[in-house]
Amino acid sequence: MLKRYQVMLNDWLADFIKERSKEFDISFSECIRIGLCVYYSHILSEQYPECKVDLNCKQMAENIKKYTGKPEQEEEMHKELSRIYFETRKAMECARKAKKNIPE
């Protein structure tokens, strides 16, 4: 489920996000969600070493470079995004447990 929030961004950041969203034919909001997920999944895995994520920034960049917005590539892009969201959610749940000292 998605919730609506208002986010204030610097012009330079908003411009960059707009460029990336157009480049990969995804919405502005989706581009922000991806960025947040990648950031938090890696920060949490550093803070809580027990919360490993199966996301490699170099590999993600390579995978995303392959997508040109063509309809036949849409399914692969959605799989990659789903994987990013899944791994991030897993890391967040693990970090919450680790913070409370709850064994998995």
The pLDDT, as a whole number, for residue 85 is 93
SS3 for the chain is: CCCCCCCCCCHHHHHHHHHHHHHCCCCHHHHHHHHHHHHHHHHHHHHCCCCCCCCCHHHHHHHHHCCCCCHHHHHHHHHHHHHHHHHHHHHHHHHHHHHCCCCC
pLDDT digits (tens, 9 = 90+) for 41-96: 999 999 999 998 888 888 877 777 777 667 777 788 888 889 999 999 999 999 99
